[in-house]
Amino acid sequence: MNPVLRDEIEISKFAKEIKLQPFKLKQIFFEIFKNQNIDIDQMTTLSKDLREQLKSRFEPISIKLDNIVEDPQTTKFAFKTHDWKIIESVIIYHRQKEAHVQDNKPKLNRITLCVSSQVWCPMGCSFCVTGKLGFMRNLSWDEIISQVLYANNYIKNKFWKKEDWTLFGVRNVVFMWMGEPLVNYDNVKIAVDTMLAQDRFSLGRRHITISTVWVVKWIQRMIDDWLTVKLAISLHAPNQKLREEIIPVARGTELNDLMNVIEKYIQATDNRIFYEYIMIKDLTDKAELAMELSRLLKWQLAHVNLIPYNENPAMKHFHESPQANIKKFKEILEKEWVTVTVRDSMWREAKWACGQLGWEKVSRDN
């Protein structure tokens, strides 16, 4: 496989070989990141000769589209890597409530992309189908970036320009699809730095979210490296015993240690922490657990997302919490002054809601 166009060493070597002027290099990166092109032939600010030279030496992105599934709210991509592994990412379209269409362009508040950071996942959470797949490898920083590049190109072709004549594109990136991003810290950091760079994606720090299950030392590394993006903690239980039961890797980290490093992160960044909490019938949805959770998070800069469990045939021992239980759980948290929302349960029928990724493979294997 040829190197990608964003390989700084290879592109610099190429530029030196053909005596390419520095402003031409800037044009190449402008076409990729600002004009949202992933087809070298479409980079029309470059000469035809230069485009032909680039095509003979470089790949525009390091992944290939394998499959695409769409509905009015989302677009899900399955990508094939250079070593024939499958990863996924999904675009979420946040529309205005009135959701009207003008000049064939939907009124969008913003567009979010959920990206994968690993091929499958090493965490093995007991309620998660993806965790049953095991772990293959980390994604490179460019395989992560390529997901954003492909999404931006797709969005441009789908929606074209906004009213201010800037291109539609990804506004928020969430590391919350396949994989545990902080286990792949070095590649994730390079990808985030690329997203933040003004001459690349130019996203704001509060428009990038890293979701993690437990990895204390890497949260400390985020503080040390001043990686001050938004942080979402997949907590799922308010005490050590229950966390170890449903999240096996929690056995290596005390909940108190996790909460201590989170407090350090809040002090360093002044960022609100989002806590993901799965609502599983007769397991995590009990009223006494809501009280424990409120005591754990009360007076903290915290926001709890209650996630109704997404049932599927591959996970027969877990069931969605009844709406009455979710409502009561939420009311207890609110009474104790903990900010809380209940996440919408989208994409269940397609088996690609939270915790369902990889359902088809698990079903075949079982």
Query: Of 114, 125, 128, 354, which is the active-site residue?
Result: 354
Out of 88, 143, 180, 320, the active site residue is: 88
DSSP symbol at 30: I
Is residue 88 among the annotated active site residues?
A: yes
The dihedral sign for the CA sequence 157, 162, 165, 168: negative
For the CA atoms of the chain, what is the radius of gyration?
22
**CA–CA separation, 153 and 167 (whole Å):** 10
Identify the bridge partners of residue 341 per DSSP, sorted by sequence position: 305
In this structure, the strands spanning 118-120 and 302-308 are: unpaired
Longest dimension (CA), the chain: 69
The C-alpha angle with vertex 95 and arms to 158 and 66, in degrees rounded to 5, equals 40
* CA–CA gap between residue 319 and residue 308 (Å, rounded): 9
Structure tokens, 218: 């890497």
Strand 230-234 to 208-212 pairing: parallel
What residues form DSSP beta bridges with 108?
95
The whole-angstrom separation of Cα 89 and Cα 272 is 25
331 part of the active site:
no
In single-letter form, the type of residue at position 233 comes to I
Handedness of CA 227, 233, 239, 244 (dihedral sign): negative
Which amino acid, 141?
Answer: W
Enumerate long-range contacts of 159-165, CB under 8 Å, 24 or more apart.
159/105, 159/106, 159/108, 160/105, 162/105
Token couple for 200: 């690349």
Q: What are residue 167's DSSP bridge partners?
A: 161
Q: Which residues are catalytic?
A: 88, 354
